Amino acid sequence: MTPLYVGVSTKMYMGYAESLRWLRAVRHEVDTRPALAAGRVVPFVIPSFPVLPAAAEIISGSALVLGAQNAGWDDGPWTGEVAPSMLAELGVTLVELGHAERRRHFHEDNAMVARKVTAALAAGIKPLLCVGELERAEPADAAAVVYEQIAAASDDWDAAASMIIAYEPVWAIGAEEPAQAAYISAVVQALRTLLGRHGLGSLPIIYGGSAKPGLLPELAHVSGLFLGRFAHDAKNFGAVLDEALAAAESTPARP
């Protein structure tokens, strides 16, 4: 069975103290949903780097998985970067790589993303690979773009099998509303067909891009949501967890 994933990155929206308050509130939302212990829905949080040690303590013993917003591609003389090996020491088991903001503003290309994916896997950390088309397109064309990004990010398809894919249409990131549910579902369905050539048709693919409560029940073929600012209210995070738990209960296996 492929679990559903529900997670959130805080980016740089919160200060240190605010981040800790938010994490405690998120933990409360998780702890009050004991059904999460079954593992059919996996909640995760991705705070900023300075928060990670305290975050690991706050979520310890809960169903929450701790992620990081980025990672370097190696240990060594890389000023300002954070090595995957150090993230692993801090209890990080998931790392967000290839986000559209990093590709655009920090000029990370597919080759750099691939090096980071390899380094994360070597450190025992699961890559959360962010992919998405720049502009709205026909679903088949969007899926082809995303497929090529996935292919470019891994040395081989065996490595790709260890990833979670965050499908985030770039044109929907930061928008008032997410992409239309029918569009998302069609793109992911087409992507699964392409990945199926390599035995990866059931690879976890979650949607991000202004995702919020009410979207998940409308989606097909999708393995969860990667939330943004809507989940900065912990109750919204809890609401999406409820939607995911309901979907997991009614669906024997997804996709």
Catalytic residues: 99, 168
Query: How far apart (Å, rounded) are the C-alpha atoms in residues 83 and 75?
Result: 5
**For every residue of the chain, which 3-state class applies, written as one string?**
CECEEEEEECCCCCCHHHHHHHHHHHHHHHHCCHHHHHCCEEEEEECCHHHHHHHHHHHCCCCCEEEECCCCCCCCCCCCCCCHHHHHHCCCCEEEECCHHHHHHCCCCHHHHHHHHHHHHHCCCEEEEEECCCCCCCHHHHHHHHHHHHHHCCCCHHHHCCCEEEECCHHHCCCCCCCCHHHHHHHHHHHHHHHHHHCCCCCCEEEECCCCCCCHHHCCCCCEEEECHHHHCHHHHHHHHHHHHHHHHHCCCEC
